[in-house]
Chains A and B, each alone.
Chain A
Amino acid sequence: MKRRQFIGAGLAVAGAGVLGARSAFAQGKEIVVSNWGGDWNDRTVKYIEQPLLESKGWKIVRDLNTAPQRRTKILAEKNLPRGTLDVAHVPISDAYLLNTNGAVDVIDFGKIPNGSDLVPAIKLPYFVPWLYSTWEIVYNPNYIKTPPTSLAELWNPKYKGKVGVTNQHYEDYMQMASLLATGKLHDLDAAKKKLLELKQVNQPKVYESHQQIAAGFKGEEIWIACNYRARGLQFAKDGVPVAVSFPKEGAALQTFGVVMPKRATHKAEAYEYFNALLDPKQLAELCQANFYSPASNKVQLTGDIGQKILHTPEQKAKLQSPDFGFLAANTAGMLEWWNKSFV
């Protein structure tokens, strides 16, 4: 074979390969989803992505990382012609920050049929709410026989050395302390004073994240802490000796959902993905597995699990939604104080 023939044959083979790949892409849909890793992503795949999308030929590329990393990536990409993410799972406060910085699209909820009956309090124009939970008391019932009814129990001196705190939830702990002191979530001075009192009275053990505080409960290093109701119920299901109690002072809402980065390249697919997330049947199964409350009123949770997950009307009346503008403006100062004075 002459050199020209060889090159020609090579180009023909390469061309056929490219065309083949294109036709393969055309058959299915492709989307890049950024999400948390671990059991959160496992359940998203198991209950939503696999049965509703991948089983129909979708190719989902997963970019798994922490919420701060995801937020930073979206912000860094906002001035590029094309971003790398089509859908990002975020907490609602991050959605607020991303929108303030012009990094996410306004959502056309008309394109999400399953999103026609979302819980109004947690729906934002640029954020599709998916799951929510509340910041409550988690305790070891083997040592604390009477379920604690007040956040003040964490300050009870009889639990000295047995109180746990998670470092990654500094905002939640500051809101909780403010709620106890003033009945509102965002009195920073009152929160700081209260937390210093906690530090002095009970010398709380500081863990980095959910997994570590669960290990702390399991090893009986701690007996009482605060966490999302959903996480407390998950710990209990996994054999950690804990129960969850709703505090009489009320509880802060924490909502998780999805946003569409401004530079997303598969926006039509992103809307289909949003719709799949809110599929009533699959979302009900997911909530029964991870104990989060569904953001869609179309989802029916019944029986014992429904009772554990859903809030009673009395509890609903005491739920407080954070002021995201306040958090965005103060989170840097809150973390600085937390690092310097609390941990």
Chain B
Amino acid sequence: MGPEKGARLRGLALVLPALLLVAAFLLAPLALVIRYSLDVYDPASLMKGVFSAENYVKLVSDPFYLRVLVFTGEIAALSTAICLVLGYPVAYFISRSTSEKLRSFLIIITVLPLLMGNAVRAAAWMVIMGTKGLANAMMLGAGVIDEPLKILYTPTAVVIGLVSVLLPFTIITLQSVLDAIPGSLEEAGRSLGFSPLHTMFSVVMPLSVPGMLAAGAICFCLAMNAYATPVLIGGPSVHMMGPLVYQQISKVTNWPFGSALACVLMAVTLTMTVISTTILSRRYF
């Protein structure tokens, strides 16, 4: 055994306990959820203890659940796109700030909303977007509208709420990637006669695609699985997957169907993230 191989084995031996622990704590509950999803609901005993694809069949054959799944995907995709569009300029500005104080200040301001719980932020949005809320009061006061708009308890409200939750993640992820792109490359572009906009689109953005992919994947996963925002801001009529899983598990104790919904949500999120990341990676690398 060479010294290099020995060192590698020693390293593996050191890491192995932690790896096993993480695998056990991550995979065991996941395995349990998958097992539950293959069981059948029984009001008297919760589960019958059988193996059946009944829950998955119900999920794919019922247009209601498919519609909720597609709708959740659409809301997540739209929120992700808005976060990237809004977050990129902010992340670029933070990254290119020469003043260390300004940079720290901007990062703290960006991260600040994350220090509050999702529910608290959602409650604040409810105050802003209500029929008699701040937004309507301002628009009515300015004469923009004659009657209060219904913003709260609509899909639009959910997107606004999700963007506010996800934007800090987008900005921080993009900023760390933009930091790694040397400013000299932009100077080189400009010295070749590129306008600042041209430099941005042909030099900076292509180099920051990995950051955009990472930020997009994080946003999309979080939005697909959102719970507090759809429940509080979307209200009872806006159905998304996260609240639906909660309803089945907790409200009606249908653990098998709730688990099947959770598994499908996880699989769809994972698949869409992998597909989009792979396609975009091939396009840009």
The answer to whether A42 has its CB under 8 Å from any CB of chain B is: no
With A68-B251, A167-B236: A328-B43 Cβ-Cβ less than 8 Å: yes
**CB-nearest residue of chain A to B126:** A212
A75 sits at the interface (CB 8 A): yes
Q: Does A329 contact B (CB under 8 A)?
A: yes
Q: Is the CB of A206 within 8 A of B131?
A: no
A328 to chain B: which residues have CB within 8 Å? 43-44
B123-134 interface bits toward A, Cβ cutoff 8 Å, 1 = contact, 0 = none: 000000001100
CA distance A219 to B257 in the complex (A): 38
Q: A68 is contacted by which of B43, B250, B257 (Cβ under 8 Å)?
A: B250
Contact with B along A315-343 (1 / 0, CB 8 A): 00000000000001101100100011001
A75-B253 CB under 8 A given contacts A206-B237, A343-B236, A343-B237 = yes
Closest chain-A Cβ to B149's Cβ sits at a distance in Å of: 14
Residue A207, interface by CB 8 Å: yes
Q: Say whether A340 contacts B41, CB under 8 Å.
A: no
Q: Are B131 and A221 in contact (CB under 8 A)?
A: yes
How far, in whole Å, are A72 and B36 apart by their CA atoms in the complex?
Answer: 14
A-B contact pairs, 27 of them (CB 8 A): A71-B250, A72-B250, A72-B253, A75-B46, A100-B44, A101-B44, A101-B45, A167-B235, A167-B236, A206-B237, A207-B235, A207-B236, A208-B231, A208-B235, A219-B131, A328-B44, A331-B43, A331-B251, A331-B252, A332-B41, A332-B43, A332-B252, A332-B254, A335-B252, A339-B244, A339-B247, A340-B64
Q: Give B26 Cβ to nearest chain A Cβ, in Å.
A: 18
In the complex the two chains form, what is the Cα distance from A343 to B45 in whole Å?
30
Question: Is there a chain B Cβ closer than 8 Å to A97's Cβ?
Answer: yes
- The interface residues of chain B lying within 8 Å CB-to-CB of A206 are 235-237
B106 adjacent to chain A (CB < 8 Å): no
B interface bracket (residues with beta carbon within 8 Å of A):
20 to 34
Say if the beta carbon of B249 comes within 8 Å of chain A: yes
Residues of A with C-beta under 8 A to B132: 219
Give the total number of A-B pairs whose CB atoms are below 8 A apart.
56
Contacts of A207 in B (CB 8 A): 235-236
> Within the assembled complex, what's the spacing in Å between the Cα atoms of A71 and B255?
12
Question: Is A69 an interface position by the 8 A CB rule?
Answer: yes
Specify which chain A residues have a CB less than 8 angstroms from the CB of B43 in the assembled complex.
97, 100, 328-329, 331-332
User: What separation, in Å, do the CA atoms of A339 and B68 have in the docked complex?
Assistant: 11
* 8 Å CB interface, A72-115 against B: 72, 75, 97, 100-101
User: Once the chains are docked, how many angstroms separate the CA of A328 from the CA of B239?
Assistant: 24
Contact call B239/A339, Cβ cutoff below 8 A? yes
How far is the CB of B28 from the nearest CB of chain A, in Å? 14
Output the nearest chain A residue to B235 by Cβ-Cβ distance. Answer: A208
Distance of A288 from chain B, by nearest CB (Å): 31
Which residues from B are CB-within-8-Å of A343? 236-237
Q: In the complex, what distance in Å separates the CA atom of A101 from the CA atom of B253? A: 11
B272 to chain A, nearest CB (A): 24
Q: Nearest chain-B residue to A94 (Cβ)?
A: B253
Q: Which A residue's beta carbon lies closest to that of B243?
A: A339
B residues near A68, Cβ cutoff 8 Å: 250-251
Tell me the nearest residue of chain B to A100, going by C-beta.
B44
Query: Which chain B residues border A208 with CB–CB below 8 Å?
Result: 231-232, 235-236
Task: Looking at the assembled complex, report how far the CB atom of B125 sits from the nearest CB atom of chain A, in whole angstroms.
Answer: 14
State in angstroms the CA–CA spacing of A72 and B41 once bound together.
Answer: 14
**In whole angstroms, how far apart are the Cα atoms of A97 and B244 in the complex?**
21
Residues of B within 8 A of A219 (CB): 131-132
Chain A residue, CB-CB nearest to B250: A68
Query: Would you list which residues of chain A between 194 and 210 have a CB under 8 Å from chain B?
Result: 206-208
| Complex alpha-carbon distance, A208 and B254, angstroms | 21
Shortest CB-to-CB span from B45 to chain A, Å, is 6
The winner among B41, B46, B251 for most chain A CB atoms within 10 A is B251
Do B250 and A101 touch (CB < 8 A)? no
Q: Tell me, rounded to whole Å, the shortest Cβ–Cβ distance linking A330 to chain B.
A: 8
Distance between A34 CB and nearest chain B CB, rounded to angstroms: 14
**A101 nearest CB across to chain B (Å):** 6
- Beyond the given A75-B253, A332-B253, A343-B236, please list 15 additional residue pairs across the A-B interface where CB-CB is below 8 A: A66-B250, A69-B250, A71-B253, A72-B249, A72-B253, A75-B46, A167-B235, A208-B231, A219-B131, A332-B248, A332-B252, A335-B247, A339-B64, A340-B64, A343-B237
**Per-position binary interface string of chain A over residues 148-184, scored 1 when its CB falls under 8 Å from any chain B CB and 0 otherwise:** 0000000000000000000100000000000000000
Least Cβ–Cβ distance between B205 and chain A, in angstroms: 42
Task: Mark A257-280 against chain B: 1 for CB-CB distance below 8 A, else 0.
Answer: 000000000000000000000000
Contacts of B131 in A (CB 8 A): 219, 221
Q: In the complex the two chains form, is A101's CB within 8 Å of B252's CB? A: no
Could you tell me the distance between the alpha carbons of A206 and B239 in the complex, rounded to whole angstroms?
A: 13
State in angstroms the CA–CA spacing of A328 and B132 once bound together: 39
The answer for the CA separation of A208 and B228 in the assembled complex, in Å, is 13
**Complex Cα–Cα for A207 and B152 (A):** 11
Q: How far is the CA of A156 from the CA of B158 in the complex (A)?
A: 33
CA of A221 to CA of B148, assembled, Å? 12
| Central interface residue in A69, A335, A339, by most chain B CB within 10 Å | A339
CB closest residue in chain B, given A101: B46
Residue of A nearest to B46 (CB): A101
Determine the residue in chain B with the shortest Cβ distance to A328. Answer: B43
User: How many whole Å from B247's CB to the nearest CB in chain A?
Assistant: 6
Q: Which residues of B contact A100 (CB under 8 A)?
A: 43-45
Q: B253 contacts which chain A residues (CB < 8 A)?
A: 71-72, 75, 97, 332
Bound CA span A339–B64, Å: 9
